[in-house]
């Protein structure tokens, strides 16, 4: 069950950091964490479901493994890095910087 503990610890750290970011009005961190936590929740909600079902008959979702959680967080960081490159190319350095800052927030959780 090591994976479950680590995964829950990663998610717990993200939730705690989101609370601090919100309290401190750190919008960049709050946006990055809130959206990534939503992606994780969505992934868990559909984990293991082969097709679309009526909402009323759906069983509860399954917990993601440690590797799946880390993979999703990494993918979210990569998505922001790609967006930053597109913004930079389009001549919008402010948005590029914001995307890179959000990516750094997420990468910090992977480096811990």
Mean pLDDT rounded to a whole number for the chain: 86
Q: Collapse the DSSP code of 90 into the 3-class scheme (helix H, G, I; strand E, B; otherwise coil) and give the result.
A: coil
* 70 contact partners, CB below 8 Å, separation of at least 6: 10, 110
pLDDT digits over 59-104, tens only? 556 788 878 889 999 999 999 999 999 999 999 999 999 999 999 9
Residue 107 pLDDT > 80: yes
Does residue 99 sit within a domain? yes
Report the C-alpha gap between 40 and 82 in whole angstroms. Answer: 20
Does residue 59 sit within a domain? no
Cα 66 → chain centroid: 13
pLDDT, mean of residues 7-30: 92
Q: Collapse the DSSP code of 60 into the 3-class scheme (helix H, G, I; strand E, B; otherwise coil) and give the result.
A: coil
The CATH number that applies at residue 13 is 1.10.1510
Show the domain range for 86.
Answer: 2-45+65-111
**Total number of domains in the chain:** 1
Q: HSE (CB half, 13 Å, CA atoms) of 6?
A: 12
| Token pair recorded at residue 100 | 């890179």
Does residue 54 sit within a domain? no
Does residue 85 sit within a domain? yes
| Token pair recorded at residue 93 | 């350095």
Does residue 101 sit within a domain? yes
The answer to whether 72 touches 97, Cβ cutoff 8 Å, is no
């Amino acid at each position: 069950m090591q994976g479950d503990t680590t995964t829950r610890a990663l998610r717990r750290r993200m939730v705690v950091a989101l609370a601090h970011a919100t309290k401190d009005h750190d919008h960049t961190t709050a946006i990055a964490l809130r959206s990534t936590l939503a992606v994780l929740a969505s992934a868990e909600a559909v984990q293991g479901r082969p097709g679309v079902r009526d909402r009323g008959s759906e069983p509860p979702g399954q917990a993601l493994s440690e590797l799946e959680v880390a993979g999703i967080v990494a993918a979210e960081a990569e998505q922001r890095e790609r967006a930053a490159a597109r913004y930079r190319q389009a001549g919008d350095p402010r948005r590029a910087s914001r995307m890179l800052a959000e990516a750094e927030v997420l990468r910090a959780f992977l480096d811990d």
